[in-house]
Chains A and B, each alone.
Chain A
Amino acid sequence: MSERKSEEPCAVGAHTSTVSRRSFLVTAGTAGIVGAVDAAEVMGQSQYADPPGTVDRRGTVAVVLRINGKEHRLRVDPRTTLLDCLRETVALTGTKKGCDHGQCGACTVHVNGRRVNSCLSFAVMHDGDSITTVEGLGTPAAQHPMQAAFVACDAYQCGYCTSGQIMSAVALLKEPCGPNDADVKELMSGNICRCGAYQNIVAAIQQVRRTA
């Protein structure tokens, strides 16, 4: 794990603490992990052991990803999904892992301007691609209009699906989509919200489309 930056304070309301939920959990969790490191390394060795004479599949693969406008030169295990690469290698944890099987949409990011499920793509497939995550859309101080609309319309409860919803919604603005709520619902059907904030999500998207 490298370069994990502390997150910006929450954008909503009057929170002023610089200790985010994530940075608290990361700090608190470190003590518990230390004791397990040796065991993990041993497990790792047996997991990657290849029979003698076979090609060395332990090798990582070089890939260059342009993420939110910044070039990242990485070496990753070819099994690393784009989702895991963003979260674990680049430490951009705004993109969420829900089902990890392309069924929930929480992991939605943009690749070369188009929305995709980052859980069903290997990072090594994206050499040279431009990736946009929710961190690249806006900042708490200068939100993307869709982020502002989600806040204004209360388009979430727990927030876990929200970054995926917003990435999908922003991509939808450039796609062929009819004017009605039903058209928006159809093109947003790949993003599941188990809290059931769908009405307000549609309202937020329509608000942005009306003013765009």
Chain B
Amino acid sequence: MHTFEFIRPKNPAQAIAVAAGAKTAQQGADIRFLAGGTTLIDLMKLNVETPAQLIDINRLGLDKIEATPDGGLKIGATVRNSDLAYHEKVRRDYSVLSQALLAGASAQLRNMATTAGNLLQRTRCVYFRDTAMACNKREPGTGCSAIGGSNRTLAILGASEHCIATNPSDMCVALATLEATIHVQGKNGSRAVPIGDFHLLPGNTPQRETVLEPGDLVTHVTLPPPVAGSRQVYLKLRDRASYEFALASAAVVLSRAPGKVTRARIALGGVGTKPWRSPEAESVLVGQPANDATFRKAAEAALRDAKPQSENAFKVELARRCLTHALEMATTG
């Protein structure tokens, strides 16, 4: 691991002032915020991340979960995944988020991993994690070893000829269906970014994964008021029953009136280069009867643009069945 300077700021403003001196806030940043450490320290051990300065944001008071005046929820950047998953209001009103969090990692890691850290979770693509291999995300311009390589777990939606790395987060998939807002404080003040705009497609700059600029600190995430009467499901399919990243996952927030679906929020995980909201599936569902035929049509719409790689054609049908099954779970019992 490369040497670094460890910085304990007294407040968010100080943390932002130091971080604003970074050349980039994206891959290879020379200054990094340190929260739970579960991704960053792992990647530093692999020399994939080599920051010269680390700013510890764990003691800045960003660890609270609070009700908002409009009836929603404010989740601090350093709220641990386990605290969020087991929070009474999250379990009751935003259960898709609780389910997604508890489907991720292990109990120990969930005690460490944070809300903002999970938003910025890095891909598990083996070529990204191995500095001996070509990877446009880690080292722009070197090529993509995953295309034509070991790509069984990689993306079938949102990929480019430069990068096919999967976004591994479960939490972000749930946040997409809950239409969360990411609150960022930077050197020029604060701004609110809808979750759908926060992550970027790889295009020809896969090293840029989010809209964050040097000095930008994610301070908290807000959720709108819960949708009364909605049914929420997170279904995750993987190679093991637990403690494994998704091959395909589906988050569903569904409201019904007698005979038809009135509102649907659908997102997929494990298949996209970013958390994959599917407005296509949502528009198929709304106004239609909640039955298997509708669900299958929605799943087909969600995967219409899927482009499998050499080893992962199975994920197209797996993702369809995952979403279909999640919709069944949300409408039965």
Interface check B14, CB cutoff 8 A: no
Determine the chain A residues whose CB is within 8 A of the CB of B82 once the complex forms: 114
Q: A78-B5, A189-B242 are in contact. Are A176 and B108 (CB under 8 A)?
A: no
Residue B63 is within 8 A (CB to CB) of chain A in the complex: no
Q: Contact size class for B?
A: 20 to 34
Residues of A within 8 A of B54 (CB): 78
Cβ–Cβ contact B4 & A78, under 8 A? yes
CB distance from A163 to the nearest CB of B (A): 13
B58 and A189: CB pair below 8 A? no
B90-122: contact bitstring with A at CB < 8 Å (1 yes, 0 no)? 000000000000000111110110000000000
Which residue from B4, B58, B109, B112 sits with its C-beta under 8 Å from A79?
A: B4
Q: Say how far B145's CB is from chain A's closest CB, in angstroms.
A: 20
Is A55 part of the binding interface, using a Cβ–Cβ cutoff of 8 Å? yes
Task: Check: A93 CB closer than 8 A to any chain B CB.
Answer: no
A116 to chain B minimum Cβ distance, whole angstroms, is 5
**Could you give, for residues 38-76 of chain B, a 1 whenever the CB lies within 8 Å of some chain A CB and a 0 otherwise?**
100110010000001010101000000000000000000
Segment among A66-74, A120-128, A132-140 that sits at the interface with chain B: A120-128
How far in angstroms is the closest Cβ of chain B from A20? 28
Instruction: Say whether B112 contacts A117, CB under 8 Å.
Output: yes
Select one of B34, B36, B242 contacting A186, CB under 8 A.
B242
Cβ of A168 under 8 Å from chain B: yes
Please tell me which one of the listed residues B6, B8, B42, B242 contacts residue A120 in the complex, with CB atoms under 8 A apart. Answer: B42
CA of A124 to CA of B86, assembled, Å: 28
Q: How large is the interface on A (under 10, 10 to 19, 20 to 34, 35 or more residues)?
A: 35 or more
Residues in B with CB closer than 8 Å to A57 are: 3-5, 52
List chain A residues, Cβ under 8 A from B34. Answer: 122, 125
Q: Roughly how many angstroms separate A103 CA and B3 CA in the complex, as a whole number?
A: 24
Within the complex, the shortest CB–CB distance from B243 to chain A, in Å, comes to 4
B279 within 8 A of A: no
B56 touches A190 (CB 8 A): no
The 9 closest A-B pairs by CB, nearest first: A190-B106, A189-B242, A78-B6, A189-B243, A57-B3, A114-B111, A190-B108, A115-B108, A120-B41
Give the B-binding residues of A (Cβ under 8 A): 48, 50, 55, 57-58, 61, 78-79, 81, 100-102, 105, 108, 114-117, 120-122, 124-125, 127, 168, 171-172, 175-176, 185-191
